[in-house]
Amino acid sequence: MKNKEDEQSLVVVGGGAAGVYASIRAKTLAPHLNVVVIEKGKFLSKVKISGGGRCNVTNGHQLDPSGLARNYPRGYKELRGSFFRTHGPQDTMHWFSDHGVELKAGKSVSGASVNDNGKFVVEVQKRTVDFVDYIDANYVLVATGSSQQGYSFAAQHGHSIIPPVPSLFTFKIADKRLADLSGVSFTRVTAKLMLDGIQKSAPELTQTGPMLVTHWGLSGPVVLRLSAWGARELYQDKYQAKLVVDFIPDIHIEDVKRILFQHKDQHAKNKVNNAFPKEFGLVKRFWGFLLEQESLDGDMHWATVPKSHLNAIALRLKQWMFEVVGKGQFKDEFVTAGGVPLSEISLSTMESKKQPNLFFAGEVLNVDGVTGGFNFQNAWTGGYIAGTSIGTLASNSILKEEQACLQLQGS
């Protein structure tokens, strides 16, 4: 008969995507494993609010592991191997269940030590009362996201920490007049981020896609991707940069000029604010704003617009430079760049190279992706691998104990 002391146990620190997914996987492989998930806040809170409340949990369009890895500014080189081949987006979509895991809400882990038997002793503190509990564990998985708690835990067990900085944030723009365009969106622009800390042009700092004007500046997938690829340099430059936007990337500048000149000839008697080239795909509010920047009266007729102004409009549409003066004012970053270096864990098991039976998964590691479900896929894959490793270790340990008991009974 098995003693309670002989039972295998896992403590998961963090009830987010990686922690919960790993717990389910470990419990599935080792049904007799005692699994406890400790979460200070609400379980799966980021998952619930992702995609504007639609639970945008992965990216189903990028299924090739190598292509998938290219969406991670931190972690690309390490993740392009077997990491996503073990458990990728399709696996996540096909395997998403919730059973057999004990959840402890409203508690946090304040520390952990290793006893003489090699077991972890996890110190658990309840938020609402002056109460400390201790849980023995054979295995500990740290899946605390960007919480300082996780970094402290890792450092306590010999890990170095790459200083965390924000990623995936909007840009605050110096030109206050841009606020008049709040709510205007563009389905396709090309934007280039120019940073003092980067002398040569980096391909990742030029992105194409949708963009949105906000009360404080610019947002949308293009801006968020640029903030991810330039996260550390932007932090070092105190979020001061130049952003060059091409509002009509599919039309060459010479063709833009030709279209404007033709429009001037064909609509000579029309007001410039009422009749503008539809080929550009621009909304009237933006066109009016553009005219203001060139000091043109919207009520003037096309016939009276000097060609020099048309050339200036063409140049502005293709190379409009904005001054970035900060992050979005609502501290709306979703992801952190930094954390435990990937060189200090085994990606095939997610186990620490510093402390046996200590595992990491998710954002606590120095891995972060661009917007579009990639950060959740990192959590699912890392959680799956960690859960598989822990479940296999626990299952093998239990099997050895049972075999030892049978040998004793037979002797």
* Residue 105 parent element (H or E): strand 102-105
CATH of the domain at 34: 3.50.50.60
Q: Are residues 370 and 310 in the same domain?
A: no
Residue where a domain terminates, one of 333, 360, 379: 333
- pLDDT at residue 408, rounded to an integer: 63
Which residue in this structure is represented by tokens 């995507």? 17
Query: For residues 303 and 270, what is the distance between their CA atoms, to the nearest angstrom?
Result: 8
Query: For residues 340 and 162, what is the distance between their CA atoms, to the nearest angstrom?
Result: 6
Residue where a domain terminates, one of 298, 318, 333: 333
- pLDDT at residue 167, rounded to an integer: 92
Q: Are residues 76 and 192 in the same domain?
A: no
Residue where a domain terminates, one of 333, 354, 375: 333
Q: Are residues 224 and 122 in the same domain?
A: no
- pLDDT at residue 332, rounded to an integer: 46
- pLDDT at residue 136, rounded to an integer: 86
- Cβ-contact 36, 112 below 8 angstroms: no
Q: Are residues 94 and 220 in the same domain?
A: no
Q: Are residues 87 and 184 in the same domain?
A: no
Q: Are residues 288 and 339 in the same domain?
A: no
Q: Are residues 67 and 131 in the same domain?
A: yes
Q: Are residues 147 and 188 in the same domain?
A: no
Q: Is 244 helix (H, G, I), strand (E, B) or coil?
A: strand
* Domain count along the chain: 2
Q: Are residues 195 and 156 in the same domain?
A: no
Low-confidence ranges of the chain (pLDDT < 70): 1-6, 47-63, 89, 92-112, 116-117, 125-132, 197-201, 329-333, 401-411
Provide the sign of the torsion angle of the four alpha carbons 339, 342, 347, 349, taken in this order: negative
pTM of the model: 0.81
Q: Are residues 233 and 302 in the same domain?
A: yes
Q: Residue 92 half-sphere exposure, CB side, CA atoms within 13 Å?
A: 29
Q: What is the DSSP letter of 334?
A: -
pLDDT digits (tens, 9 = 90+) for 276-335: 999 999 999 999 999 999 999 999 999 999 999 999 999 999 999 999 999 986 554 578
Q: Are residues 89 and 102 in the same domain?
A: yes
Query: For residues 247 and 249, what is the distance between their CA atoms, to the nearest angstrom?
Result: 6
Q: Are residues 67 and 162 in the same domain?
A: yes
Ramachandran area for residue 217 (φ above 0: left; ψ -120 to 50: alpha; else beta): left
- pLDDT at residue 110, rounded to an integer: 62
- The residue range of the domain holding 237 is 169-333
- Cβ-contact 275, 299 below 8 angstroms: no
